[in-house]
Every structure is written in structure tokens, then in C-alpha cells.
Amino acid sequence: MTEVSVTKDAKPAADDLVVLKGVNKHFGALHVLQDIDMTIARGEVVVVIGPSGSGKSTLCRTINRLETVDSGTITIDGKPLPQEGKELAKLRADVGMVFQSFNLFAHKTVLENVMLGQTKVRRTAKAEAEAKARTLLDRVGVGSQADKYPAQLSGGQQQRVAIARALAMGPKVMLFDEPTSALDPEMINEVLEVMQQLARDGMTMVVVTHEMGFARSAANRVVFMADGRIVEEAVPDQFFSNPRSDRAKDFLSKILHH
Ligand SMILES: Nc1ncnc2c1ncn2[C@@H]1O[C@H](COP(=O)(O)OP(=O)(O)O)[C@@H](O)[C@H]1O
Ligand SMILES: [Mg+2]
């Protein structure tokens, strides 16, 4: 019998980009990340889902070291996360992050927002940074908004600028923490489409989202978290049609039938 591959295959282990081993994190008495082992291959798109408070944001924040861990190790492209200083700034540039709230600089134009990290952290020359910023703004569909201030843009446009800003640093991996949760419904798709394209272009991505359509079509793998643990992980088709754990079944029944 021949095996017919119907799902997007997992990438080979030889090309691991982000590796978490035995990661634990507490906030006081709260054990928010419990023995997390997770490996993300270069070019892989991992969607992280789970109930509120399960540790999804904390997981993202530890990967770019906005949070320290209590034990365990995290490596990016074979290198452990640096503690501080220049190396840490460089790591942050290698790990692009897009949050629920767009976090653009309100007093800078869209163009300046996308140039800033390039000139300050990457030390890119201004003309080159501007050219790259304009190319990226075009790519996410807001090229004509370059000279406006963030408040003059819709939420969907601002979030696309935030994606362009992260991409401008030439990151190795992009983390998205509920990037469409703060958007009006009609703006969700324009942001998801940009993320879909990024996934197709081969970007390594970790995406925390409740957008199950995106998970089904863009993810190589779904990771389900509950109470600080990875409870289950599978390719999307398998996860959505046949979740194994009661926690995942319960969660899916709530979000798919609300
Ligand atoms: N800085 C913090 N200090 C104390 N508790 C926190 C902090 N950040 C998150 N928590 C708690 O850690 C748990 C996990 O939070 P979070 O990672 O934000 O979960 P999720 O993103 O899955 O909703 C929650 O109980 C939350 O209240
Ligand atoms: Mg969160």
C-alpha cells in the first residue's frame, strides 16, 4: 500500500530554528509554563491555541525574552537566548513580534515606524531603510499611507504596518500574539491574508490565534495549550477533526459552535 500525503508534512528535524527544552516559568505561585518542550523548524507555521490564561502570550514573550524563564533552555538558530545588551537587541530583531495592540509609535509616520528599527538596531543607511520600508508597506497593501500617522489609519491598516515594521528587521521567525483580536470583523481578513502570504513565502511563524480558518489553511501544526502545558499537538486536519484530549474537545466545541 502506498502512503498518500494529504497534509502539509512536518519539516525535517535537522533544520530546527526555535527549540524550547524543559521550560518552566512562574509568576509568584502561578506556574504559567510547565515543562514546555517545543521545536519549530525553519519555514514551519505553528498555530498555538488554548483557553485564556493558558500561557500562550507568556510562551511568545519568553521566545523573544520579554520574559525570563525559571528553568529550561531556549535556542534560536542554535544559539541560546542572550541575557542582555547588544546581543539581546539583536535577538529581538531576529524574532519579529506582532501584538494584539499594534504598538506603533504615535508621533512617527507610518514610514518612520518601519524605518526606525532598521536604522537604530540594524544600522542600515537611511536611504536603504526607506526603500525597504516602502517595499514592505507596498507588500502589505498600505504603501499609499506611508506619510500618515498611525491614528489616521484603520486598525487593520495599523496592524499591517506593524507586520511590515517587524519584517523590516529581517527576522528569522515571526511571533504573532492574537494579531486580529482587537480588530473590527471586517478588518480581520486583510491582516490574515498578509499572514497567509508570509506563510506561503516560507517565513517561520508562531501564531497565537482563535482564527481556526487560518489555522486550517496556513498551519503545519497546531499546538493546544491548557494550564501552562502543551496538552496536544497535531497537523490541523487531525487536530480539528479528531482531537484526542478532553480539554481540546471541550475547547473546540466552545469556539467552533459559539
Ligand atoms: N506579568 C504577569 N504577572 C503575573 N501574572 C501574569 C503575568 N502575565 C501573565 N500572568 C498570568 O499568567 C497566566 C498566563 O497568562 P498568559 O500567558 O497571558 O495566557 P494567555 O495568553 O494564554 O491568555 C494567566 O493566569 C495570567 O493572569
Ligand atoms: Mg494572551
* Residue 229 CA to ligand 1 centre (angstroms): 13
Q: What is the pLDDT of residues 214-255, one digit of tens each?
A: 999 999 999 999 999 999 999 999 999 999 999 999 999 988
Give the predicted TM-score (pTM) of the model.
Answer: 0.92
Which residues are within 5 Å of ligand 2 (an ion), measured at CB?
56-57
CA-nearest of 42, 56, 102 to 209 is 56
Sheet hosting strand 16-27, strand order edge to edge: 30-41, 16-27, 71-76, 79-80
Q: What is the pLDDT of residues 140-165, one digit of tens each?
A: 999 999 999 999 999 999 999 999 99
- What is the atom index within ligand 1 of the atom nearest the CA of 61? 17
The larger pLDDT score, comparing residue 114 to residue 254, is at 114
Phi, psi of 65 (to 5 degrees): 60, 30
Indicate the SS3 state at residue 120.
Answer: helix
C-alpha span between 258 and 254 (Å, rounded): 6
| Ligand 1 and 204: CB distance under 6 A | no
| Ligand 1 and 32: CB distance under 6 A | yes
CB 17 within 8 A of CB 39: no
Which residues fall within 8 angstroms of residue 78, CB to CB, at 6 or more apart? none
* Residue 59 CA to ligand 2 centre (angstroms): 9
C-alpha span between 161 and 168 (Å, rounded): 10
Residue 2 pLDDT level (bands cut at 50, 70, 90) = very low
Distance of alpha carbon 119 from its chain centroid, rounded?
Answer: 23
> What is the rounded average pLDDT for all residues in the chain?
92
C-alpha span between 198 and 202 (Å, rounded): 7
- What is the atom index within ligand 1 of the atom nearest the CA of 54? 22
CA-nearest of 37, 79, 77, 80 to 59 is 37
Which residues fall within 8 angstroms of residue 226, CB to CB, at 6 or more apart? 50, 51, 54, 247, 248, 251
For 95, 154, 187, the CA distances from 137, given in Å and listed in that order, are 19, 15, 17
Residue 205 pLDDT level (bands cut at 50, 70, 90) = very high
Q: What is the DSSP letter of 2?
A: P
Long-range contacts of 82-91 (CB under 8 A, 24+ apart): 89/121, 90/121, 91/64, 91/65
* Residue 176 CA to ligand 2 centre (angstroms): 10
H-run or E-run covering 97: strand 95-98
**Cell digits for 202?**
516560507
Check pLDDT > 60 for residue 3.
no
Quote the Cα angle for 238-203-39, to 5°: 55
